[in-house]
Amino acid sequence: MMRPRPPVEALALTLVLVACAGRGDAPPETDSLPGTALPTIAPVDAGALTAQASEASQQGLALLKSFRGDVQPEAEAIFGLTGEAGEAVRIEVQVRLGEPDLALQLSTPSGEVLANVDVGGPGESEVIGEFRLPAEGYYELAIQSVENTGQVDVLIYEITGEALSGGGTLPGLGQPVTGSMDRPATFHTYKLQTERGQRFDLQATALSGDLDLVFELYDPQGEPVAKRDDSLDKDPYLFNYMPQLSGEYTVVLTNFEQTTGTYQIMTEPSQGGSPLSFGRRQVISLPTEPHHGVWVPFISTAGEGLSIDADPLNPNTDLTLAVHDVFGNRLAFANGGGPGVGESLRVQVPYDGPYQLEFGTLGEGGEVRYDAFERSSLDFDTSGPLMEFPTLRDVTILLQQGGETHAYWFDGEQGQRITIDATARSGTLDLAFDLLDEAGNVLSAHDDDRNTDPVLENYPLPYTGRYYLVLKLEDTHLGGQYRLTASSPDPADPSGEAS
């Protein structure tokens, strides 16, 4: 069933309660789940919790809301919370009646899980000890009994002042921050300012106790982009991350199970390898730990590019190849083989400037031998990269296994509507393409719009200037032919408004 989203209220957490049989599902039909009743929920009498709230206040906790409800294995009780970024809460679910084996899950409405707690057994309470909200908005707390029915009290506290044990802002590259996780299920939120295309390393290291750390990284739009656990021993390390957006990223750091102790978290600029060497029989070494890859810079000219064939010398190295532009966009990727199998890329670049070739491994590290050669625009499409309206081209892809990228560009006017169609005509080609502007922003990405072919239909250009079409074949293929058509049947709309 649809669940209405409560409005966000500044500097205050509010609670809205919804109960359903499954996340995002309608209530179960009684004949499909006979005898199953939805949880019954009611606010707890404030007077019954006076002593407990008083004790909590001495620990720097302020009781925000409390509920009492029934739990059972066949249903979830869903609590809605809204709050501001950086607000910290403690969530206690206490068993009042019966022997339910509780499990808690805190997530976003889209289903991204932020906290998952299932430590105690039947009849035992579960606690999210400290959780800092990573962004302003709406969250959902799901409570379920793994087995047995029962009744629980749900207590939501705000953690303020000196009771907070970590979180805040990472001050800058190379400047460590220390924190302490003294409660099970503690979640510390840190903010990190980034620039698109500027790679960085993110490291969290346990300093004391039996602390076992995990973190997840969210981009400025609140989307999860990376998660790390046990990258180097038990510590999470994210190496060579390439942000595709400038702005404030969010790191949510948590302790695994009931481990506690102090930690250090910091970011550093990623250290790439030496500039790419062109020619035959080059060798590069990939470490197994902690970052599983090396990136190397190279310079290229619009319409030109490179080809690379790489073979791991270690049979347990599961090689990947990728090319990124200066804006953080991944232009090409190859991961067609498994351990010990070589990979190939042919990449035509859309604009002048620096690029990065990344050698990675999904398994062990080791040495990789590669042959890299510079390519002209005629090696990709003999008609050249300039695309006009109308266009109809048949382009042949060489017989090879690997990823391939072709770049095209055209000049357009604000409000001009365009249609671009890339169709595989023979072979095993699976096409996709991105439309980019002069600043490297991806305006529209297309894949499998018509069967496995990408189609951009009747798209209004947002402004006057140059645009780039990056056509990709990232899956393993054996060559073939594709047809590229482009049309702009209508004149530009002077108002620049899309209909």
CATH of the domain at 223: 2.60.120.380
118 in any annotated domain? yes
Strands 213-218 and 455-460 come out as unpaired
- For 323, the domain range is 279-377
Judgement on whether residues 111 and 125 belong to the same structural domain of the protein: yes
pLDDT at 119: 78
Judgement on whether residues 156 and 24 belong to the same structural domain of the protein: yes
DSSP state of 50: H
The rounded distance, in Å, linking the Cα atoms of 311 and 387 is 35
pLDDT at 59: 60
pLDDT in tens, 360-391: 998 889 999 999 999 999 999 999 999 999 99
Cβ atoms 350, 440 nearer than 8 A = no
Judgement on whether residues 373 and 392 belong to the same structural domain of the protein: no
180 in any annotated domain? yes
493 in any annotated domain? no
67 in any annotated domain? yes
Q: Evaluate the omega torsion of the peptide bond into residue 390 and state whether it is cis, within 30 degrees of 0.
A: yes
The rounded distance, in Å, linking the Cα atoms of 24 and 26 is 7
Helices (H) and strands (E) in the chain, counts: 1, 35
pTM for the whole thing?
A: 0.70
Judgement on whether residues 58 and 148 belong to the same structural domain of the protein: yes
Cβ atoms 180, 166 nearer than 8 A = yes
**Any bridge partners for residue 445, and if so which?**
434
- Residue ending a domain, among 236, 269, 302, is 269
Judgement on whether residues 415 and 291 belong to the same structural domain of the protein: no
The residue type at 30: T
Judgement on whether residues 370 and 388 belong to the same structural domain of the protein: no
Judgement on whether residues 21 and 141 belong to the same structural domain of the protein: yes
Burial of 308 from C-beta contacts in 10 A (0-12 / 13-18 / 19+): buried
| H/E element, 18 | strand 14-20
9 in any annotated domain? no
Classify each residue of 63-78 as buried b or exposed e, where b means 16 or more C-beta atoms within 10 Å of its C-beta: bbbbbbbbbbebbbbb
* Helices of type H across 46-122: 50-57
Judgement on whether residues 367 and 437 belong to the same structural domain of the protein: no
φ, ψ at 377 (rounded to 5°):
-65, -30
Instruction: Count the domains in the chain.
Output: 4
- Residue ending a domain, among 239, 269, 299, is 269
C-alpha Rg value of the chain to the nearest Å: 27
pLDDT at 35: 26
Q: In the numeric block, which tokens belong to residue 424?
A: 């595989």
5 in any annotated domain? no
494 in any annotated domain? no
Q: How far is CA 285 from CA 298, 361, 490, in A?
A: 18, 11, 54
Judgement on whether residues 50 and 177 belong to the same structural domain of the protein: no
Mean pLDDT of successive 10-residue stretches along the chain, which has 499 residues: 30 34 33 30 48 53 83 83 78 91 85 79 87 79 90 86 69 84 80 90 91 90 85 85 90 84 92 89 85 87 96 94 93 90 94 95 91 94 93 86 90 96 90 96 94 95 97 82 90 46
3-class state of residue 41 by DSSP: strand
- Residue ending a domain, among 162, 187, 217, is 162
Judgement on whether residues 349 and 456 belong to the same structural domain of the protein: no
User: Which among 210, 145, 195, 103 is positioned nearest to 440, based on CA atoms?
Assistant: 195
The rounded distance, in Å, linking the Cα atoms of 431 and 349 is 17
Judgement on whether residues 95 and 129 belong to the same structural domain of the protein: yes
pLDDT at 18: 36
Judgement on whether residues 18 and 157 belong to the same structural domain of the protein: yes
Q: How far is CA 269 from CA 193, 198, 201, 251, 359, in A?
A: 13, 8, 6, 16, 18
498 in any annotated domain? no
